Amino acid sequence: MSQNFPRPAGPARGPAPSRRPRALVPTLLVLAVLTVAYLLTVNFWTERLWFESIDFTHVFTTQLVTRIGLFTVFGLVMAIAVIVNGLIAYRLRPSYRPMSVEQQSLDRYREAIDPIRLWVLGAAGVLVAIIAGASAAGQWQTFQLWMNGGAFGRTDHQFNIDIGFFAFTYPWWRFVLSFGFGVVVLGLIVAAVTHYIYGGIRLQTAGEKVSPAAQAHLSVLIGLFILLKAVAYWMDRYALVIDDNPLFTGGNYAGVNALLPAKMILIFVALICAVLFFVNVWQRSWTLPGIGAGLLVLSAVLLGGLWPFIVQQFQVNPTEADREAPYIERNIEATRHAYDIADVEIQSYEATTTVEAGQLADDAGTVPGIRLMDPSVIPQAYQQLQQVRGFYSFAEPANVDRYEINGEERDVVVSAREISVDGIPDGQRNWVNEHTVYTHGFGMVAAYGNMSEIDGSPRWAEEDIPSRGVLGEYEPRVYFGQNSPEYSIVGAPEGVDPVEYDIPEDPESGGERRNTYDGEGGVPIGSFFNRLLYATKFQEANILLSDRVNDESVILYDRDPRQRVEKAAPWLTVDSNPFPTVADGRLVWVVDAYTTLDSYPYSQRVSLEEATSDSRTARPALAAQPDDYINYVRNSIKATVDAYDGTVTLYEWDPDDPVLQSWKAVFPDSVTPQSEISDELMDHLRYPEDLFKLQRRLLEQYHVTQPFTFYEGTDRWIVPNDPASSLEIDQPPYYQSIQLPGTDEGVFSLTTTYTPRGRQNLVAFMVVNADVRHDDYGQITALRLPGHTQIDGPGQVANAFESDPNIAQELSLLRAGDADVRVGNLLTLPVGDGLLYVQPVYAVRASGDAAFPLLRRVMVRFGDQIGYAASLQEALDEVFRGDSGVQTDEIGEIEDDAVPEVDEDGVADDGTVEDEPTPPEDDEDATDEDQRLPDDDEDEDQDDAPAPTGDLAEAIAEAQQAWEDAQEAQADGRWGDYGDALDRFEEALNRAAELSEED
């Protein structure tokens, strides 16, 4: 009889758990993936639109296709290697695993991994594919040069192979080889881990440590690794001529005679070792492969390390100069060709240090054009005198250009008046004003380089708003510049009132003028889709919501000229100093660009950043990155960027450059033939500054062509430090018109000086013809000074100026008040059969936002004679016994009491309008006659001069009172009274000196 017993009650069950937590994680993952995909789409599409706006879509497309192709191919290869080796290792797992503590521990991992084994392996494959693909995509330029590179027409000295192999082919195959190592190593790691987890490798189990199947699998992978090592040894042979050694770049004696044969031997050893590992697939014994691997390691240490060391120590070092001479000669020849300095002309220059009247009579091509306006100093004067409104700015430093003025070519210091939203008053700073109203700068400002007004301010060749001067009619609006805002939204339908601020006072209406951009540049954002893209890109909802954005609106961004050229031509290295010029009725930025290599055989490798740093372009004191080193350069492209519509044009400049021809094959529609450069634009092109800096750095050593002299280092030159800078950093090269000795005309040039290593005296003056119209454009000439004559270098000359008692007295007087002295560029000029130094002296108030420099005096030195006066003409005449023999273009000497004043309304006396009153600082007194050398006529005149009146005590008292009056006037900013007091001070001192002589 069955009985039904009541089932005991189970535990009370609560409500069913919510499914939301389980759905939340996948939802968040999906949202994250969608967000990333959207952001990638925004970046991709906005980049495409930008390239389309400058008509360089082919550059974007070529980069994209190449990157995607490399990413896909190399990513798949890496993923397949990882996944296939993981699957093979799993299939080769032993069916029986001896019991051990190790295997019991691994059982837990096997149980956890087995259900998701394929997912784990797939995830690992995807991860390594992304990493490997990204690495390969970054090599798109190397790949394209390999595909399109041609021959150089020159062969290297060691292998007699065309240099095109090292420039275009070798770098790509080196990358492929390193990628192959990565594939094999990752495959080996995945295989070893899988074999270990599933028992194929038993490290702590008695008996057999590796199963036969695992041994065969690992032998194949290790054999492949060693086979690749044999290939690497073969490639290392070519690396010998492009790697650095302690003396130079390229193969030295030990490398060619010891390391190179060793590499050949190691190739055969590696091949034998690889065969042993492949045979081990069937033999399955680690004895022979182990011996082979040990032999390879021992051979690498003995042949690849110890043997070259022994050769270096016992064969080379005792007679290193003789042993290395042929290889140094290779390095010198290759370096001079790679940096285009093979044709440097070094002339002996027997510079004199004596002076006589009329000594500069034959130097009319140099002296009248001596630049007194320092481009590094006067931008502050541009800012105060030509800013007009606080939201305009000028890039620093300014630039030197040439214009034909009244039938004569003149050097002028130029700068574009750009917009700067940082200058908008705080109460008016908002999105509408910053991005739709203050959108562009206006006009070019140019000052004559060799003269100033009598108050020391720049003498303008082009000035004001609207622009007026000697540059003619041109489109003055600057939408694309070095200081332009991150982005601006411009353009409007026809008939809509303009909203962009243009100029403060329209000559026709007398009121403020607004403008509407109608250029071809910029990306249209009239559609909702494009507005959404750019609202996301710039993280600004106003782009999507503001009424200022209409159907005709375009957005301007990436507006810096260098940035635009770098994006349009990513294969170029861009010069650090673009400059504005007016040509063909347009204001354009001229940007020099270079093709470079780092694998030119035997050419010396240098850091581009370090070589081009100086006091004007000082860069952070960081170690140079590996990709910053180059050993070949050509100025292959002259690029222009239109300041109004942003049009980028790349003009071919060096058609003989094989690197340029290779890139033209990659981007056939990018480069415009040189023949299409207009005559007006050609007049303003010049020799690039960064290239000259790089060349002068190399010529510190490579002006020497004799290997023994090079090795001994007895004729090393050094670019001197800039004496006008407080930092120990190279003096910059200077653009100036120079008439070299033996020539009959001045030529626009780029100049520099050298001192011997470890000394401060001058050893050479170097100049390159920077006028592209000249037949000798690009010709570098070095004037080497005699060893028997001491010619002071820039540092010594600057010290002589500062220590001169008369100059020091006046500079000390100036620095005593609320003013400071700023010295300009110390120019060196080969005139008068010697070397003339010229340095302008500026005065600037030490405090206040409105301070700006005014030219007050000019210091000159020839030999041991110093001139210091209110004009270059006077200073030269002081040095050359009252008559230098040449006339400068100055309008007169500086007058201390003539200072540009700014009234309460911010209007300067030249008619420009300032944001705030700008009391300029005047500077200096200076007794023009203190340093002048009296000639015979002067001595006779002094005998007939009237005797001074009053006693000595009275003269000293008057000098003391004048000194106090000058200090008081300077502190109060009464610059006219300050100048008068200095005149009285000078007069009293002179009278006191004469009375003292009578006593």
Q: Cα(60)–Cα(48) distance, rounded to whole angstroms?
A: 7
Nearest Cα to Cα of residue 139 among 193, 167, 176: 176
Q: Of 109-123, 490-504, 527-541, 955-969, which range is least confident?
A: 955-969
> What phi-psi label fits residue 222: left (phi over 0), alpha (psi between -120 and 50 degrees) or beta?
alpha
Stretch 5-24: mean pLDDT: 54
pLDDT for residue 102: 64
pLDDT at residue 947 above 50?
no
Q: Are 690 and 612 in contact (CB under 8 A)?
A: yes
Which residues, other chains included, contact 877 with Cβ-Cβ below 8 Å and sequence gap of 6+? 867, 883, 884, 932
pLDDT for residue 934: 37
Q: Are 826 and 723 in contact (CB under 8 A)?
A: yes
Which residues, other chains included, contact 351 with Cβ-Cβ below 8 Å and sequence gap of 6+? 783, 785, 786, 789, 791, 830, 833, 834, 835
pLDDT band at 116 (very low <50, low <70, confident <90, very high): confident
With b meaning 16 or more CB within 10 Å and e meaning fewer, what string describes 649-668? Answer: bbbbbbeebbbbbbbbebbe
pLDDT at residue 993 above 80?
no
pLDDT for residue 972: 60
Q: Cα(824)–Cα(803) distance, rounded to whole angstroms?
A: 17
Strand partners, 730: 721
- Count of C-beta atoms within a 10 Å radius of residue 596: 19
pLDDT at residue 19 above 60?
no
- Count of C-beta atoms within a 10 Å radius of residue 357: 15
pLDDT at residue 626 above 90?
no
* Burial tier of 635 (Cβ tally within 10 Å: 0-12, 13-18, 19+): buried
Stretch 917-935: mean pLDDT: 36
Tokens representing 501 are: 């601020």
Q: Are 925 and 845 in contact (CB under 8 A)?
A: no
User: For 271-300, how does the pLDDT look when each residue is reduced to its tens digit (9 = 90+)?
Assistant: 999 999 999 888 888 888 899 999 999 999
Q: Are 917 and 850 in contact (CB under 8 A)?
A: yes
189 phi and psi, to 5 degrees? -65, -45
Average pLDDT, whole number, for the chain?
87
pTM, two decimals, is 0.85
pLDDT band at 944 (very low <50, low <70, confident <90, very high): very low
Q: At what angle do helices 260-283 and 212-239 cross, to 10 degrees?
A: 170
The residue with greater pLDDT, 66 or 1, is 66
pLDDT at residue 373 above 80?
yes
pLDDT for residue 200: 77
pLDDT for residue 937: 42
The residue with greater pLDDT, 959 or 449, is 449
pLDDT at residue 133 above 80?
yes
111 phi and psi, to 5 degrees? -65, -35
User: For 756-769, how does the pLDDT look when each residue is reduced to its tens digit (9 = 90+)?
Assistant: 998 999 999 999 99
User: For 719-754, how does the pLDDT look when each residue is reduced to its tens digit (9 = 90+)?
Assistant: 999 998 888 899 999 999 999 998 888 999 999 999
pLDDT at residue 77 above 50?
yes
pLDDT band at 207 (very low <50, low <70, confident <90, very high): low
The residue with greater pLDDT, 844 or 440, is 440
pLDDT at residue 895 above 80?
no
pLDDT for residue 911: 41
The residue with greater pLDDT, 105 or 332, is 332
pLDDT for residue 979: 67
pLDDT for residue 846: 65
Stretch 452-465: mean pLDDT: 92
User: What's the full length of the chain, in residues?
Assistant: 999
User: For 147-173, how does the pLDDT look when each residue is reduced to its tens digit (9 = 90+)?
Assistant: 999 999 999 999 999 999 999 999 999
pLDDT for residue 964: 77
User: For 530-552, how does the pLDDT look when each residue is reduced to its tens digit (9 = 90+)?
Assistant: 999 999 999 999 999 999 999 99
- Percent of the chain clearing pLDDT 90 (strictly above): 68
User: For 375-386, how does the pLDDT look when each residue is reduced to its tens digit (9 = 90+)?
Assistant: 999 999 999 999
pLDDT at residue 952 above 50?
yes
pLDDT for residue 196: 84
pLDDT at residue 829 above 60?
yes
User: For 656-704, how does the pLDDT look when each residue is reduced to its tens digit (9 = 90+)?
Assistant: 999 999 999 999 999 999 999 999 999 999 999 999 999 999 999 999 9
Q: Of 43-57, 588-602, 603-617, which range is least confident?
A: 603-617
pLDDT for residue 767: 97
Stretch 861-889: mean pLDDT: 92
pLDDT at residue 943 above 50?
no
Q: Are 98 and 207 in contact (CB under 8 A)?
A: yes
CA angle 877, 737, 803 (to 5 degrees): 45
pLDDT at residue 818 above 80?
no
pLDDT band at 787 (very low <50, low <70, confident <90, very high): confident
The residue with greater pLDDT, 581 or 807, is 581
Q: Cα(873)–Cα(372) distance, rounded to whole angstroms?
A: 12
pLDDT at residue 916 above 50?
no
pLDDT for residue 851: 80
User: For 304-325, how does the pLDDT look when each residue is reduced to its tens digit (9 = 90+)?
Assistant: 999 999 999 999 999 999 999 9
Stretch 957-983: mean pLDDT: 71
Nearest Cα to Cα of residue 704 among 717, 692, 693: 717
Q: Of 196-200, 448-452, 651-655, which range is least confident?
A: 196-200
Q: Of 191-200, 330-339, 667-676, 763-772, which range is least confident?
A: 191-200
* Burial tier of 568 (Cβ tally within 10 Å: 0-12, 13-18, 19+): buried
- Percent of the chain clearing pLDDT 70 (strictly above): 87
pLDDT band at 600 (very low <50, low <70, confident <90, very high): very high
pLDDT at residue 622 above 60?
no
pLDDT for residue 932: 36
Task: State how far Cα 849 lies from the chain centre.
Answer: 30
Q: Cα(928)–Cα(990) distance, rounded to whole angstroms?
A: 12
pLDDT for residue 841: 93
Which amino acid is it at 851?
Answer: A
pLDDT at residue 865 above 60?
yes
978 phi and psi, to 5 degrees? -60, -45
Stretch 772-794: mean pLDDT: 93
